[in-house]
Amino acid sequence: MPKVLISGASIAGPALAYWLLEAGYEVTIVERAPEPRPGGQAIDIRGPALDVIAAMGLGERVPALRTRMKGMTVLDIAGNEIERTTERTATGGRFDSGDIEIFRDDLAALLREVCGSRPRYLYGDSLTALETRPDGVVASFSRHPTEVFDLVLGADGLHSKVRQLAFGDEEPFLRPLGVAFAIWASPNLLDLQDWQLSFRDETAGYAIYPTRDNRELRVNIGFALTLDEERGLDLAARKALIRERAAAIGGPVPRVLETLEATEDLYFGALAQVRMPSWCKGRIALVGDAGYCPSPFTGQGTSLALIGAFVLARELARGGADHETAFAQYETRMRPFVKANQDLLFRDRAAPDADDVFNEAKMGISLEDLLG
Ligand SMILES: Cc1cc2nc3c(=O)[nH]c(=O)nc-3n(C[C@H](O)[C@H](O)[C@H](O)COP(=O)(O)OP(=O)(O)OC[C@H]3O[C@@H](n4cnc5c(N)ncnc54)[C@H](O)[C@@H]3O)c2cc1C
């Protein structure tokens, strides 16, 4: 039974684990956080990712947890309404489409649930070194003893440790966007009922929505920040920075900022795309944001992670012991789809053909096409 280590237990990691377990692999997942991480905004599942979810037996449970947003009000910096829509979502989908919008932590919990007790989890740990030998990869950890695996798969997000250990410094692979997101949960002190508020200008923006039957809000504030400025900030410094960068924004922001102090589960990070000439090296491969983060602005990170995990696991199952061919097929099949979705970021959303390009990139391929 091939023995696989997956780094990262958010979306790509458990999805990949599920498919590898189904194919008979022995799976260990190492996750830096001490326990499953809560938090995150609503994320979208679209196109072939909906088929992946259905194939996992989650075709009813995921839609049951979808957000029930009925529409969105777009405000100006002072909080005055400039648009009200029941059609277009902030990431370019439609409120009435077959897309599923679900909170990241709800989806992550379902993915862990379908894996059941089969994977071995190493929470609160991280890889420190990877040494590839002809017959396996020697993995060293901060806390767990060194162990040899047949394959190591990095599903550890934008600042992937596996990428750093196998491919070197992250800098050449990141295309920084100069913007950070700060996301946290608060009580629904705005009394929003299935309705989202959003604002965006050249330097800042926010999306605020209700969840948990309108009892809770998820607050997402975006502002200018470089990757260098982000490094080394502790929780208190992050909170101070958020307050400073959001100080000029009016409307609902001053009220929700009051809840920032008490929050422990702050998701905070400068955004970037990940563009790599190859996602695989020897016995090591990357999946999801670790290999090809498209950035939250495309709304496609979760779908790419789900689809990438499925395609990679299928190719490994097909290839048996021949991981080299499986990795090569994974790259060939995923690359055009990944590129089309990453390129969405640089599209002019006001262009006359923008909606067609957007939908073609997201939906214009089937799982059959991706599996060849
Ligand atoms: C807490 C959280 C909140 C998020 N909120 C949003 C959001 O609101 N909007 C949005 O668009 N995207 C959000 N994302 C990112 C979104 O989940 C991904 O873009 C997308 O779903 C692809 O998932 P992924 O599994 O590839 O990467 P991620 O979801 O980023 O998961 C990476 C996982 O790897 C773990 N990890 C990191 N470093 C190590 C290490 N050294 N060793 C072991 N494990 C490690 C992380 O803790 C995390 O669990 C969030 C991610 C997290 C973890």
Residues with CB under 6 A from ligand 1: 7-13, 30-33, 37, 39-41, 43, 104, 126, 155-157, 161, 183, 220, 267, 288-290, 296, 301-302, 305
Residues 137 and 226 in one domain: no
| Domain end among 272, 303, 326 | 272
Atom of ligand 1 nearest to the CA of 161: 41
Residues 280 and 266 in one domain: no
* Residue ID of nearest Cα to ligand 1 atom 53: 10
Residues 131 and 44 in one domain: yes
| Domain end among 237, 272, 307 | 272
Long-range contacts of 111-115 (CB under 8 A, 24+ apart): 111/11, 111/14, 111/15, 111/18, 111/56, 112/9, 112/14, 112/36, 114/14, 114/18, 114/56, 114/57, 114/58, 115/14, 115/17, 115/18, 115/21, 115/27
| DSSP sequence for 113-124 | HHHTT-SEEEET
Confidence (pLDDT) at 342: 94
Residues 151 and 12 in one domain: yes
Residue 93's pLDDT band (cuts 50, 70, 90):
low
Domain residue limits at 254: 69-98+177-272
CA–CA distance, 155 with 158 (Å, rounded to integer): 9
Q: The domain that contains 343 carries what CATH number?
A: 3.50.50.60
Residues 266 and 278 in one domain: no
Per-residue H/E/C for 1-55:
CCEEEEECCCCHHHHHHHHHHHCCCEEEEEECCCCCCCCCCEEEECCHHHHHHHH
Residues 279 and 268 in one domain: no
Average pLDDT score over residue span 154-180: 97
Q: How many C-beta atoms lie closer than 10 Å to residue 153's C-beta?
A: 32
Average pLDDT score over residue span 311-339: 94
Q: What is the pTM of this model?
A: 0.91
Residues 329 and 212 in one domain: no
Q: Which of 10, 18, 35, 220 to mutate to test the pocket of ligand 1 (most atoms within 8 A of CB)?
A: 10
| Domain end among 240, 272, 304 | 272
Owner of token pair 């009922």: 193
pLDDT tens per residue across span 284-314: 999 999 999 999 888 899 999 999 999 999 9
Residues 232 and 277 in one domain: no
Kindly report the average pLDDT of the chain as a whole number: 92
Confidence (pLDDT) at 319: 82
pLDDT tens per residue across span 339-371: 999 998 887 666 767 777 777 777 778 888 888
Residues 251 and 109 in one domain: no
Residues 214 and 358 in one domain: no
Confidence (pLDDT) at 145: 98
How many folded domains does the chain comprise? 2
